[in-house]
């Protein structure tokens, strides 16, 4: 992860793509969200979704996985150039999570994140808070997920002070 000082409002990061298979959709749903429309094609056909679709939590968890993968790659690139990578603090949560369209079996979702606001933390010197809008778009260009999350990011001066 980049340091707080190196992040800019408006920055958009493409996190990568993921294809949701019917088997993955059902396996996730069986563990965490066992609704008929996430578990079984025939039951889904009779539901308001009309077809087997992924749990919205599944769509969001894949965002998390791709985000972790991206941050890891970014950290490795920084270190390979001899630079330091910033630490992340705990996230206090998120809001405005929307699933405007279902993710159907076979859909490929492209995930991205955009920095929408940032502020230094008076209460925790050396750390800043960034607000990011995270999105998922299907292969037809239709948004399937969006939410606003908050992350604590280390400032460069904290790293310098403590090293």
Partner 1 sequence: MPRLHWEDFSPGQVTECGSRLITRAEIVAFAAEYDPQPMHLDEAAARATLFGGLVASGWHSCCVLMRMLTDGLIGDTSFMGAPGVEEVQWLAPIRPGDRIKARATVLETRASRSRPDMGFVKFRFELINAADQPVMTLTVSPMFGRRAANATREDEPMAPSER
Q: Quick check: 91 binds partner 1 (CB under 8 A)?
A: yes
DSSP state of 53: B
Closer CB to partner 1, residue 34 or residue 120?
A: 34
Q: Quick check: 8 binds partner 1 (CB under 8 A)?
A: no
- CA distances (Å), origin 26, targets 21, 48, 121, 126: 9, 18, 42, 44
> 35 is written with which tokens?
């609704």
Residues 6+ apart with CB under 8 A from 82: none
**Binding window for partner 1 (CB under 8 A); candidates: 3-11, 42-50, 109-117, 131-139:** 42-50
- Would you give the binding string for partner 1 spanning residues 96-135, x where CB under 8 A is met? xxxxx-----------------------------------
Q: Quick check: 89 binds partner 1 (CB under 8 A)?
A: yes
Helices 56-80 and 22-32, axial angle in degrees (round to 10): 110
Closer CB to partner 1, residue 50 or residue 139?
A: 50
DSSP string, 27-47: HHHHHH---HHHH-HHHHHHS
Measured CA to CA, the distance from residue 123 to residue 109 in angstroms comes to: 38
> 132 is written with which tokens?
């990011």
Candidates 6, 17, 40, 57; binder of partner 1 (CB under 8 A) is 57
Q: Quick check: 73 binds partner 1 (CB under 8 A)?
A: no
Query: In DSSP terms, which residues pair with 104 in a beta bridge?
Result: 53
- Would you give the binding string for partner 1 spanning residues 22-41, x where CB under 8 A is met? ---------xxxxx-x----
Closer CB to partner 1, residue 94 or residue 131?
A: 94
Q: Quick check: 50 binds partner 1 (CB under 8 A)?
A: yes
CB of 18 closer than 8 Å to CB of 103: no
Q: Which residues bind partner 1 (CB under 8 A)?
A: 31-35, 37, 45-50, 55-57, 60-62, 64-65, 68, 87, 89-100, 147
């Amino acid at each position: 992860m980049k340091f707080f000082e190196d992040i800019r409002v408006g920055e958009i990061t493409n996190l990568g793509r993921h294809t949701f298979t019917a088997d993955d959709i059902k396996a996730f749903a069986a563990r965490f969200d066992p609704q008929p429309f996430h578990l079984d094609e025939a039951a889904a056909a009779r539901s308001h979704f009309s077809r087997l679709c992924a749990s919205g939590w599944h769509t969001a968890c894949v965002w998390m996985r791709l985000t972790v993968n991206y941050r890891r790659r970014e950290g490795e690139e920084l270190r390979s150039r001899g630079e330091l990578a910033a630490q992340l603090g705990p996230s206090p949560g998120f809001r405005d999570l929307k699933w405007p369209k279902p993710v159907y079996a076979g859909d490929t979702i492209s995930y991205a994140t955009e920095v929408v606001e940032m502020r230094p933390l008076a209460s925790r010197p050396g750390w800043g808070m960034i607000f990011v809008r995270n999105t998922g778009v299907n292969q037809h260009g239709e948004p399937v997920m969006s939410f606003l999350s908050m992350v604590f990011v280390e400032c460069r001066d904290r790293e310098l002070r403590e090293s």
